Copies of this chain bind each other. A is one copy, B any other.
Amino acid sequence: MSKAPSTLQTVSTPAVLIDLDIARRNIDRFQAYADAHGLKVRPHIKTHKLPAVAEMQLRAGAIGVTCQKVSEAEAMIAASPEIRDVLITYNILGAEKLRHLAALARKVTLSVVADNETVIDGLSDAFAAEPAPLQVLVECNTGADRCGVPTPEAAASLAQRIAKAPGLVFGGLMTYPPANDAAAVESFMNRAKAFIEAAGIKVPVITSGGTPSMMEAAKAPVTTEYRPGTYVYNDRSLVTRGACTWDDCALTVLATVVSVPAANRAIIDAGSKALTSDLLGLSGYGHVLGRSDITIDQLSEEHGRLVSEGPIDLKVGDRLRIVPNHACVVTNLVDAVNIVEQGEISALWPVVARGRIV
């Protein structure tokens, strides 16, 4: 309800808090790693959807940003004059989205991906009459089994189709890698690159991503750039994987105990609308900072249920800070986040690219 900055004691809950000091440290840490290994950084903005945080990433050394949707890219570009190089890692289809994409391409350096001919042909139709061609990278399946061509040969075939298509230029290769398998990326990309170069086409960019594997990105030296997203905030899934500690978690949800109906049970005012029901393979829906004895075992939309093995020792009105399982999806649930600096709320920032569904 509040639109003005409040304190951690007075802000209405549930409230999403972003500790900007921690976020800065997280940004700098990966940028230093990438710089040391000659890797360019193109952070994925899906995690924060905040122009000011994208600017922090660019000022730290990122070469541009990654978005997952045309609509998210539009929102970010409109809000920040510093965002001028955007990769949209998505198969873009449909007349309306293609119109918006073409309009964006007239404003900034834009590239997209494709893993099939239908998408390439649609992009070509939309860009054939545009003043400048669109860069299209081929998305490759290096083991995550989501999108992506299945083989290096298929990647080379699509690269050639892009290179010949009116309105398009071949921009390189892109993958969302399997966790902790840089070898798979290295092998697939080297073979695809060789096939494509053998056809007389240059491969200017090979881009990989994902926070879980980011500190091993250099183990796939064929990669030229990397697209981490969650690293800026971190979350319970990353702590559980050993990628960071609780002290590295910049996004927390502040919640209030609204009921203590049993000695080992308490109810907070943060449910799936604030914490999300994303499990990411974990059990429970978040970590209560300072209370590793508590499990958040059940969420409804507006309630979170906390259970403890011993007495829960909470009273109605107590405030708790929770690290959610998955930070990115929390960002998308709220219209604004409370910025924390030096341990206190300093501002309320609108989540500019939230809720871009189409």
Contact of A15 among B141, B149, B256, B358 (CB under 8 A): B358
A91: chain B residues within 8 A (beta carbon): 258-259, 267, 316
Q: Given known contacts A116-B259, A258-B119, is B316 in contact with A1 (CB within 8 Å)?
A: no
Which residues of chain A from 244 to 268 have a CB within 8 Å of any chain B CB?
256, 258-262, 265, 267
Contact of A119 among B100, B147, B298, B316 (CB under 8 A): B316
| Interface residue? A273 (CB, 8 A) | yes
A262: chain B residues within 8 A (beta carbon): 145, 150
Which residues of chain A from 82 to 99 have a CB within 8 Å of any chain B CB?
90-91, 93-97
A141: chain B residues within 8 A (beta carbon): 261
Question: When chains A and B are docked, how far (Å) is the Cα of A145 from the Cα of B267?
Answer: 10
| Interface residue? A332 (CB, 8 A) | yes
A13: chain B residues within 8 A (beta carbon): 94, 358
| Interface residue? A36 (CB, 8 A) | no
Least CB separation from A95: chain B residue: B10
Question: When chains A and B are docked, how far (Å) is the Cα of A302 from the Cα of B148?
Answer: 15
Interface of A is mostly: loop
A326-339: contact bitstring with B at CB < 8 Å (1 yes, 0 no)? 00110011110000
Q: Is the CB of B298 within 8 A of A146?
A: yes
Least CB separation from A92: chain B residue: B258
Contact of A355 among B276, B328, B334 (CB under 8 A): B334
A335: chain B residues within 8 A (beta carbon): 355, 357
Which residues of chain A from 142 to 187 have a CB within 8 Å of any chain B CB?
145-150
Which residues of chain A from 305 to 358 have a CB within 8 Å of any chain B CB?
305, 315-317, 328-329, 332-335, 355, 357-358
Residues in chain A within 8 A of chain B (CB atoms): 1-2, 10, 12-16, 46, 68-71, 90-91, 93-97, 100, 115-116, 118-119, 141, 145-150, 256, 258-262, 265, 267, 269, 272-274, 276-279, 298, 300-303, 305, 315-317, 328-329, 332-335, 355, 357-358
Given A116-B261, A150-B261, 16 new contacts (CB under 8 A)? A1-B71, A2-B358, A10-B95, A15-B358, A68-B301, A90-B258, A91-B258, A93-B316, A94-B256, A119-B258, A141-B261, A147-B259, A147-B303, A301-B332, A335-B355, A355-B355
Give 17 A-B contacts (CB < 8 Å), ordered by A residue: A15-B358, A91-B259, A93-B269, A116-B316, A145-B261, A145-B265, A146-B300, A146-B305, A147-B259, A148-B261, A273-B332, A276-B277, A301-B328, A332-B333, A333-B333, A333-B357, A335-B357
